[in-house]
Amino acid sequence: MDTLALAGLIVALAVTSFGTRSSFILFLGRRAASPALQQALRFVPPAVLTALVLPELVMAASGPTVVGNARLAAGVVAAAVAWKTRNTIFTILAGMLCLHGLRLAGYG
């Protein structure tokens, strides 16, 4: 791919990305969202986070696994710490310590 085609592709992708992201602001920015829509939008961040994180926790090299999965155990520990403390740093530290501790002990 030559330089001009690559530059055109980058510009096209940037315009597309900007257009889709800003369309909601441009067309709906001056309107008040209904209470039902506001309530529904509260569930978007947890749903997206779950969709991104859960496959990484249950997938192993051989396929999906629950038993003997160090990442899943670390995720459960991190979720418990997050629920109890509501502290991001403690959550990350607990999950990483659990994951690396289990891996050092030979569990995944």
Chain-centroid distance of CA 8 in Å reads 30
The 10 Å CB-count burial string (b at 16+, else e) for 52-85 is eeeeebeeeeeeeeeeebbbbbbbebbeebbeee
Alpha helices in 1-108 (DSSP H): 3-28, 35-41, 44-58, 70-85, 88-104
**pLDDT tens digits for the chain (108 residues)?**
799 999 999 999 999 999 998 988 888 778 888 899 889 989 999 999 999 999 988 887 677 777 788 999 999 999 999 999 999 999 999 999 999 999 999 887
Residue 58, pLDDT score? 87
Residue 30, pLDDT score? 81
Residue 37, pLDDT score? 87
